[in-house]
């Protein structure tokens, strides 16, 4: 085809389904295609409307005028433009959307195989277009659930939990009250996660070694931060140090786990051994009981950190009411983000879409 518009017209002018770039387009016949394009050219476009996105909007408006919003003709026009890579908004395009998940949750550019897989996960679903929304939700949630994020971002969140416990927030959900909330803040989380995840691409050769080196180096630096040394002076005995960390984490250690952590100090009377301090913090951070207990709270927190790029009580939220609402919904549906409609709400929110230029 000679141009993007020509390809769209050709797809529409066919009868029956055609596939382009893994997107199925149901043709509406030449007469209907001509009617829509002629209407768009004569009534909906100006000389200045030369961008593909403007032509897309004009043809959709023409389809609405002639056949109604949501009609078969309207849906076909939308499918045709999607198939040639001209979505309504750039965040609605599968390639841009998937690449953004890598940036927001894994802090890196997409690897080619991963990008192709997740684009296909959205574009190859059936029946279209009704399946697209659900696949976008599942695809986005997969980045939080991925091994890569669980071992970087979620690990960082638990490091802060182990060291400093919880913060206290205010919510007006069901009446004004206080609640325990994750202590790590967006700016610190982002910097720490980028450090831990640097060079890590799960599935590529050697990724486990890179991750372990990053965690080792980060943990050793973490326990030397002034905030940490003030909270846990080296004069503490190993038992006092481990018990204090365990209390912050929610008393997750078994008796054997506690003994193992204390023994990291090799019988010393104090906790001046930096490597042992780092290993003790890591042992608690990586405790499965803590990981399970903190999971829903972290999942909700990452909706704000990942999609909105802010803290739950900043921006348009002056407290933790929104965070509280989504946490209760997630708990209500036993962690099922689809039933809770949590991910869907965030990726369809005006605040999220405004990041990419949509008003």
Q: What's the CA gap between 20 and 118, in Å, rounded? A: 17
Q: Which of 68, 88, 108 is a domain's end point?
A: 88
Output the domain CATH number for residue 30: 1.10.390.10
Q: What angle do CA 288, 178, 185 make, to 5 degrees?
A: 55
Q: Which of 42, 61, 88 is the last residue of a domain?
A: 88
CA 33 remoteness from chain centre? 38
Same domain, 28 and 131: no
Compute φ and ψ for 177, nearest 5 degrees: -160, 165
Q: Among 108, 123, 147, give the residue marking a domain's end.
A: 147
Residue 92 is given by DSSP the state G
- Which residues in the chain belong to E strands, given as ranges? 15-20, 23-28, 166-171, 177-182
353 domain-assigned = no
Judge whether 204 lies within some domain: yes
Q: How far apart are the first and last CA of the chain?
A: 33
Neighbours of 317 (CB within 10 A): 16
How far, in Å, CA of 77 to CA of 62, rounded? 10
Task: Indicate if 184 and 313 belong to the same structural domain.
Answer: yes
Same domain, 164 and 222: yes
- The answer as to whether 303 is a domain residue is yes
- Asked whether residue 271 falls in the same domain as residue 305, the answer is yes
Which pLDDT score, from 0 to 100, does residue 339 have? 97
Quick one: pLDDT at residue 344?
97
Please count the structural domains in the chain.
3
- Cα–Cα distance for residue pair 165/159, rounded to 1 Å: 10
CA distance 69 to 313: 38
- The answer to whether residues 64 and 210 belong to one domain is no
Whether residues 161 and 308 share a domain: the answer is yes
State residue 7's pLDDT score: 92
Across 113-148, b (16+ Cβ under 10 Å) vs e yields ebbeebbebbbebeebeeebeebbbbbbbebbebeb
Length of the chain: 359
Is there a single domain that holds both residue 107 and residue 131? yes
Q: Are residues 36 and 118 in the same domain?
A: no
Query: Could you report the per-residue pLDDT of 136-183, keeping only the tens digit for each?
Result: 999 999 999 999 999 999 999 999 999 999 999 999 999 999 999 999
Does the residue 354 lie in any domain?
no
Instruction: Give the C-alpha separation, 228 to 163, whole Å.
Output: 7
Q: What region, left, alpha or beta, does residue 142 occupy, with left being phi > 0 and alpha being psi -120 to 50 degrees? A: alpha
Residue 356 lies in a domain: no
Verify that 305 and 287 share a domain, yes or no: yes
| Same-domain pairing of 224 and 303 | yes
- Domain residues for the domain of 261 are 153-346
Q: With a cut of 70, which residues of the chain have pLDDT below it?
A: 1-2, 47-51, 358-359
**CA 350 to centroid of chain Cα atoms:** 16
Tell if the pTM clears 0.85, that is, is over it: no
Alpha carbons 30 and 142: distance in angstroms, whole number: 41
Q: What are phi and psi of 211, to 5 degrees?
A: -65, -45
Q: Are residues 44 and 110 in the same domain?
A: no
Cβ-contact 236, 270 below 8 angstroms: yes
**Claim to verify: residue 212 and residue 314 sit in the same structural domain:** yes
Does any domain span residue 170?
Answer: yes
pLDDT given for residue 48 in this prediction: 61
In a domain, 139, yes or no: yes
Q: Are 56 and 88 in contact (CB under 8 A)?
A: yes
CA distance 217 to 292: 25
């Amino acid at each position: 085809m000679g141009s993007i518009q020509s390809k769209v017209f050709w797809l529409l002018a066919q009868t029956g389904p055609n596939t382009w770039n893994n997107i199925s387009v149901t043709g509406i016949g030449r007469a209907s295609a001509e009617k829509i394009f002629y209407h768009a050219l004569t009534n909906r476009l100006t000389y200045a409307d030369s961008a593909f996105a403007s032509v897309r909007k004009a043809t959709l408006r023409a389809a609405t005028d002639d056949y109604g919003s949501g009609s078969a003709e309207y849906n076909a026009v939308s499918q045709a433009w999607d198939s040639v890579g001209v979505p309504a908004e750039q965040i609605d395009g599968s390639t841009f959307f998937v690449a953004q998940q890598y940036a927001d949750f894994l802090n890196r550019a997409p690897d080619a195989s991963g990008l192709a897989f997740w684009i296909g996960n959205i574009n190859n679903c059936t029946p279209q277009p009704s399946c697209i929304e659900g696949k976008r939700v599942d695809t986005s949630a997969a980045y939080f659930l991925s091994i890569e994020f669980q071992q970087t971002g979620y690990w960082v969140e638990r490091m802060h939990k182990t060291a400093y416990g919880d913060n206290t927030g205010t919510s007006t959900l069901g009446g004004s009250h206080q609640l325990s909330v994750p202590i790590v803040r967006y700016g610190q989380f982002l910097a720490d996660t980028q450090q831990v995840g640097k060079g890590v691409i799960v599935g590529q050769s050697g990724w486990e070694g890179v991750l372990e080196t990053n965690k080792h180096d980060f943990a050793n630096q973490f326990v030397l931060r002034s905030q940490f040394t003030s909270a846990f002076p080296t004069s503490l005995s190993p038992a006092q140090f481990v018990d204090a960390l365990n209390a912050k984490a929610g008393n997750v250690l078994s008796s054997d786990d506690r003994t193992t952590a204390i023994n990291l100090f090799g019988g010393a009377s104090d906790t001046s051994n930096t490597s042992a301090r780092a290993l003790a913090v890591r042992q608690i951070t990586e405790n499965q009981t803590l990981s399970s207990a903190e999971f829903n709270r972290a999942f909700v927190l990452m909706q704000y950190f990942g999609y909105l790029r802010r803290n739950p009580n900043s921006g348009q939220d002056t407290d933790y009411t929104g965070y509280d609402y989504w946490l209760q919904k997630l708990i209500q549906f036993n962690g099922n983000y689809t039933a809770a409609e949590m991910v869907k709400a965030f990726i369809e929110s005006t605040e999220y879409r405004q990041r990419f230029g949509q008003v």
